């Protein structure tokens, strides 16, 4: 196994010593996830805790916690005596994950709609209003991700199919939850689609609700693939 060498990118050193632990952890995890998804690692590269603690200007503890999260997402695997081994997600993986999400979540929200109550709709509206002022800065994106996860959970929680929830939850353990941290401008489009979802729920339009949820997920897929392809082009043009 080779020690990790980040190719074609000068890493910034984070000055996070005054940040609280939760914010520090988020920043470290986001940075490591970003460099993996942008293709700076090759499959089998080692992600060495000491090396990344130095690069990011932090202790080993947030690196270790970030690696646990990335292992859940399938971006690294932990091996005895070798530590964290990078397992990059390919464009093919992205297509598979998001296509499955679009199919399963579309089915789930359509079947959930008859069981949603007024309290559910009020909660969706409240979450939507809380998301609207959020922008693309780091703090706002972190808050958006939490609210967005709650929004989608309520959308489908009325679906009586137990197994479909389990399958969706498995897919959501990977990168879909964290896509907004990678895609500038993502939030504005999401706000419009969330508004449409609430409209279709209020008007009991299950088919339109299913379609907009699918569109919402597949748009994110396309934007993420575009980011990865652009990163590949930049690496191809870089001199080493």
Q: What pLDDT digit, counting tens, does each position of 75-90 carry?
A: 899 999 899 999 878 8
Phi, psi of 78 (to 5 degrees): -95, 125
Higher pLDDT, 1 or 96: 96
Q: Output DSSP code: residue 3.
A: B
**Is 1 exposed, middle or buried, given 0-12, 13-18 or 19+ CB atoms closer than 10 A?**
exposed
Task: Supply 212's token pair.
Answer: 């907009």
- Going by CATH, does the domain composed of 91-235 fall within 3.40.50.300? no
Q: What pLDDT digit, counting tens, does each position of 96-130 carry?
A: 999 999 999 999 999 999 999 999 999 999 999 99
Q: Considering all CA atoms of the chain, what is the largest pairwise distance in Å, rounded to the nearest integer?
A: 59
Residues 6+ apart with CB under 8 A from 190: 131, 144, 148, 180, 216
| Percent share of the chain, pLDDT over 70 | 85
Q: What pLDDT digit, counting tens, does each position of 10-36 carry?
A: 554 444 444 467 778 888 988 898 888
Task: Supply 240's token pair.
Answer: 């080493």
Q: Mean pLDDT highest for which of 127-136, 153-162, 220-229?
A: 153-162
Q: Report the pLDDT value the prediction gives residue 1, as an integer from 0 to 100.
A: 41
Task: Supply 144's token pair.
Answer: 């958006």
On average, the pLDDT of the chain sits at 85
Give residue limits of the domains in the chain: 21-86, 91-235
Classify domain 21-86 at the CATH class level.
Answer: mainly alpha
Higher pLDDT, 53 or 187: 53
- How confident is residue 174, by pLDDT bands cut at 50, 70 and 90? low
Q: Report the pLDDT value the prediction gives residue 240, as an integer from 0 to 100.
A: 30
**Is 158 exposed, middle or buried, given 0-12, 13-18 or 19+ CB atoms closer than 10 A?**
middle
Rg (CA), the chain: 19
Any idea which of 2-6, 58-62, 125-129, 193-197 has the lowest mean pLDDT?
2-6
Q: Coil, strand, or helix at residue 180?
A: helix
Alpha-carbon span 146 to 173, nearest angstrom: 14
Q: Report the pLDDT value the prediction gives residue 163, as an integer from 0 to 100.
A: 97
């Amino acid at each position: 196994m080779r020690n990790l060498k980040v190719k074609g990118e000068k890493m910034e050193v984070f000055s996070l010593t005054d940040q609280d632990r939760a914010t520090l952890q988020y920043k470290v995890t986001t940075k490591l996830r970003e460099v993996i998804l942008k293709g700076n690692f090759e499959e089998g590269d080692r992600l060495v805790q000491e090396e990344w603690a130095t690069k990011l200007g932090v202790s080993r503890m947030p690196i270790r916690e970030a690696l646990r999260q990335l292992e859940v997402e399938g971006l690294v695997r932990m091996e005895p005596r070798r530590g964290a081994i990078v397992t990059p997600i390919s464009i093919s993986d992205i297509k598979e994950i998001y296509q499955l999400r679009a199919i399963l979540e579309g089915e789930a929200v359509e079947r959930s709609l008859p069981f949603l109550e007024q309290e559910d709709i009020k909660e969706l509206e409240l979450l939507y209003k809380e998301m609207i002022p959020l922008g693309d800065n780091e703090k706002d994106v972190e808050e958006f991700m939490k609210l967005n996860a709650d929004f989608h959970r309520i959308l489908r929680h009325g679906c009586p199919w137990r197994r479909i929830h389990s399958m969706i939850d498995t897919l959501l353990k990977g990168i879909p939850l964290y896509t907004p941290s990678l895609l500038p401008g993502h939030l504005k489009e999401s706000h419009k689609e969330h508004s449409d979802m609430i409209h279709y729920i209020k008007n009991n339009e299950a088919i339109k609700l299913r379609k907009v949820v699918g569109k919402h997920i597949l748009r994110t897929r396309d934007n993420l693939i575009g980011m990865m392809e652009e990163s590949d082009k930049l690496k191809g043009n870089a001199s080493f």
